[in-house]
């Protein structure tokens, strides 16, 4: 199960919220490739997720994607798409999108954000802010 009932409830609450700066609550990934999804909202249908999708081609995009399609993916060696159980962030989805586009992937953006928090530095000291 990719989404627990608690995650579903939190994603739906953000979907209903008018508050800006929503943050991703879930990170899904392909353990055999760079494909990664960050989801911040779950529509009332229980299937449509809104977030940042990166299929590993260097162009992460904001948009809607299907939970059922992601769950249905079958990978070699009996693997499936997984949820990062340790993912949490205080960075908004729009900031993630900016950094991922600048870095070329969610994974590289994650590395930059982690390095910045580990060294307690501001990324804008070394990189211009995302557009």
The predicted structure's pLDDT at residue 124: 52
pTM for the model: 0.89
Q: Which segments in the chain show pLDDT lower than 50?
A: none
Gap between the Cα atoms of 131 and 118, Å rounded: 24
Query: Which residues have CB under 8 Å from 61's CB, separation 6+?
Result: 52, 53, 54
Which SS3 state, helix, strand or coil, does residue 99 take? helix
DSSP reduced 3-state for 107 = helix
Q: Beginning with the edge strand found earlier in the chain, give each strand of the sheet holding 26-29 in spatial order.
A: 61-66, 48-54, 36-42, 26-29, 82-83
| Exposed/middle/buried for residue 120 (C-beta within 10 Å: 0-12, 13-18, 19+) | exposed
pLDDT score of 9? 98
Tell me which residue of 52, 47, 59 sits closest to 36, measured CA to CA. Answer: 52
Q: How far apart are CA 11 and CA 112, in angstroms?
A: 25
């Amino acid at each position: 199960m990719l989404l627990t009932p608690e995650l579903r409830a939190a994603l739906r609450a953000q979907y209903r919220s008018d508050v800006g700066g929503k943050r991703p609550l879930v990170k899904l990934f392909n353990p055999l490739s760079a494909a990664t999804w960050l989801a911040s909202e779950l529509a009332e249908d229980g299937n449509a997720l809104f977030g940042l999708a990166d299929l590993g081609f260097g162009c992460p995009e904001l948009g809607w994607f299907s939970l059922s399609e992601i769950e249905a993916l079958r990978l070699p060696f009996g693997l499936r798409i997984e949820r990062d159980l340790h993912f949490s962030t205080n960075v908004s989805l729009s900031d993630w999108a900016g950094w991922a586009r600048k870095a070329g992937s969610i994974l590289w953006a994650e590395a930059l954000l982690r390095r910045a928090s580990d060294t307690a530095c501001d990324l804008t000291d070394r990189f211009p802010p995302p557009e």
